[in-house]
Each structure stands twice: as C-alpha cells, then as structure tokens.
Amino acid sequence: MTTALYDVPGPRTRQRHRLYGLLATALILALLGWVVYLLFSTGQFTAAKWTPFTYKGIQELLLRGLGNTLKAFALAAVLSLALGGVLATGRLSAHRPVRWVSTVLVEFFRAMPVLVMIFFIYVALQAEPLVALVAGLTLYNGSVLAEVFRTGINAVDRGQREAAYALGMRKTQVMTHVLVPQAVRAMLPAIISQLVVALKDTSLGYLITYEEFLHAGKLIASNLDYDLPFIPVVMIISPIYIGMCMLLSWLAHWVSKRQRRNPKVEGVEVAAPEPGPLLPGGHRPPA
C-alpha cells in the first residue's frame, strides 16, 4: 500500500526502524548513566554540597534573585516590543528621512553586542544596574523585533493592502485593521523566540552587580563553607530557566491557537415568504 507522498514501510523496514530506535535509546541511556556516574564519583551529591538549599536565608536569596530576573525581563520585554513597533513603523514610513534614521538605528543596535551596550550605559552614563540591564536588552531586542515586525507586515499579500486602500481606508487604518492582524500569526514564533533570548540575557546582569537569579546562584556556588556547590546550583537554576522558557513557548502556542479560531457567525433564520394576493383567474404573482 502507498500514500500520496511515500510508500508505507514494509515489515522488514519497520523492523529496521525499531532496531534503530532501540540503539538510539540505549546510547542516550548510556550517556546519561555516564554523566550520573561522573557526578557521583566527584562527590556532587554529598550532603555538604546540598545543605545550603535547606536554609531559609539561601532560599530567600534565590527567590529574591528570581524576582529580580522576572522584573528585568518584564520591563525589557514590554519596552522591546514598544521600541520594535516604533522602529518598524519608521522603516515602513513613506518619508525617506524617517525611513533612513530608523534603518540606521536598527542596524546599529542589532549589530552591537548586548554586553557592550549594558557596560556602556552602566559605566559611561552612571546608570543603576537595573536601568543599564533593561536599557541594553531593550535596544538590542527592540531592533531585532523591528525587523521581525517589518518582515511580517511585508509578508502579507499585497492585494490585501490595495483592497483596503480601494475601500477608502487611511494608511493607519490599513496597518491596524488589515495588515497587523494578519501578520501577527506569522510573527508570533519569532517574537517569542526573541523574548526567550531576552529572558536568558538577563543573566548578564550579574556582571554589573545586579542581584538577579544567576548572581544569587554564583554567591552560593562560590561559598567555601559548603565545599563550592557549583553543580548543585546549576541543577537547581537550570530547570527554572528551562521552565520559564517553556512557559513562554506554551503562551505562544496558546495565543496562536486562539488566533486560528475563526469567529462564529450565527446565521439568521429567514422566514418563508407569505403567499401574495390572488390575481384574476386564481393565479398568484411571481415571487
């Protein structure tokens, strides 16, 4: 039997694929076992290295660092989306000077390393650590999101724009009511991916003494009293970062799923026409 795209695997092919799957599973399990063996052999699961996490002060330090990370990310995400929208609007402007200025800003901040911008704002402008971190993340991610927005809007069929102008809509109305709603679905994966980058880049704050999540983990990992629990700190912090990124991905999937739902339009029941008056001879007029 065949399908429209490929031949259905036969018994021998299925057996071979099953063997490949078993070999790959065994290889992955062996790799995980080797990693666990190395962790045990180097004493990473000793009580001395895991004792700090039972103390209330250490737990409060981690929670405070996590809260600071989420605060920096929330500010950077909102400001990056706003800046990206402004720069994308400028790049799509019909006025050449506005378009040129927006292009220069996007290309400059997109090419500049995030850490350089954070250090420049923190050292040269004497900004607070939170301000420097959020400003650096906003300038970089906002410029990247500007290109995402511009590309998504330009990807909408040109006929949609022309039809809207033919109906007498202004440019602002065409952008807000026609182009942007259709482009959001295509832009959403790239937007969420960039927000994930912004979330992970908040860890750069520890280089300018901002007390975020990674900074708190570094303080614990460098403690000689607990035998330098670096690996336990990584095993605590990494799943939380992964969980936050997965939460953003789930949010993107949920928003995309809601956008795919077409609005349900209830049909209006049309009543049957009533019979008209009889014409002479017993005939009725045509409908």
Distance CA 142, CA 81 (A): 6
User: Concatenated DSSP letters for 37-103?
Assistant: HHHHHTTTTSHHHHGGGGSHHHHHHHHHHHHHHHHHHHHHHHHHHHHHHHHHHHHT-SSHHHHHHHH
Q: How many CB atoms lie within 10 A of CB 51?
A: 15
The pLDDT of residue 82 is: 92
pLDDT digits (tens, 9 = 90+) for 50-99: 888 888 888 888 899 899 999 999 999 999 999 998 998 888 888 888 88
Domains delineated in the chain:
47-258 (1.10.3720.10)
The pLDDT of residue 283 is: 55
Place of tokens 């989306």: 81
* Residue (of 125, 279, 129, 135) closest to 198 by Cα position: 135
pLDDT digits (tens, 9 = 90+) for 231-259: 888 888 888 888 888 888 888 777 767 76
Contact 233, 223 (CB under 8 A): no
Give the relative orientation of helices 129-154 and 180-201 as an angle to the nearest 10 degrees: 150
Residues 96-131 as b or e (16 or more Cβ within 10 Å = b): eeeeeebeebbeebbeeebeebbbebbeeeebebbb
Q: How would you classify residue 58: left for phi > 0, otherwise alpha for psi between -120 and 50, otherwise beta?
A: alpha
Q: Which residues pair with residue 130 across a beta bridge?
A: none
What's the distance, CA 177 to chain centroid?
24
Place of tokens 């799957």: 21
pLDDT digits (tens, 9 = 90+) for 169-223: 777 777 777 777 777 777 888 888 888 889 988 988 888 888 888 888 888 887 7
Contact 129, 122 (CB under 8 A): yes
